[in-house]
Amino acid sequence: MTNYSDDFLKRILTRTRTVAVVGVSPNPVRPSYYVARYLTLKGYTVFPVNPGHAGKELFGRKVVASLSDIDGPVDMVDIFRRSEAVPPIVDEALDLFPDLGTIWMQIGVEHPDAAAKAEARGVDVVMNRCPKIEYQRLFGELRMGGFATGVISSKL
């Protein structure tokens, strides 16, 4: 399911405090970078996870190689990986974080079997969505005018 109510998404974004971003890039033009940076700017504690960049620093935190390298609780795991890479990430998250609230799969990322496994453990799952976009939309930060909303001024 990728049709989520606004209340469901808002509840997730409101209760979440710590986010592990799996597949984050240190390249500022990559979506994983600017989503993680945005979440940091909004007050979330972001744990950057990427084995290829472990040891570097992003957003004031050391990049770790895997979820198991995070010292402390995680409320949400945000996945920037191909859909076929999702199951082991979900398995690891479920094993490591007993109080995990959400598995969030980015736009273009879906894995119904992994989602069902997480949901069976009481973890909320969001697939094929971006928390940055949803945050902006739900908390009134998304500015859309004219053509983007389908409203065209008759004064053109």
Is 47 strand, coil or helix? strand
- Domain extent listing, the chain: 6-149
- The crossing angle, in degrees rounded to 10, of helices 131-138 and 6-15 is 110
Tell me if the domain spanning 6-149 has CATH number 3.40.50.720.
yes
pLDDT score of 74 more than 70:
yes
If one compares 142 and 113, the residue with the highest pLDDT of the two is 113
CA–CA separation, 55 and 53 (whole Å): 6
Q: H helices then E strands: how many in the chain?
A: 5, 7
C-alpha radius of gyration, the chain, whole number: 16
Is residue 56 within 8 Å of residue 36, measured between CB atoms? no
pLDDT-derived band at 151, boundaries 50, 70, 90: very low
Do residues 136 and 111 make contact, with C-beta atoms less than 8 angstroms apart? no
Nearest to 119 by CA among 99, 98, 102: 102
| The pair of three-digit structure tokens given for residue 27, joined into one six-digit string | 């390249």
In this predicted model, what pLDDT tens digit does every residue of 25-61 receive, in sequence order?
Answer: 999 999 999 999 999 999 999 999 999 999 999 999 9
Tell me the whole-structure pTM to 2 decimals: 0.89
Neighbours of 41 (CB within 10 A): 10
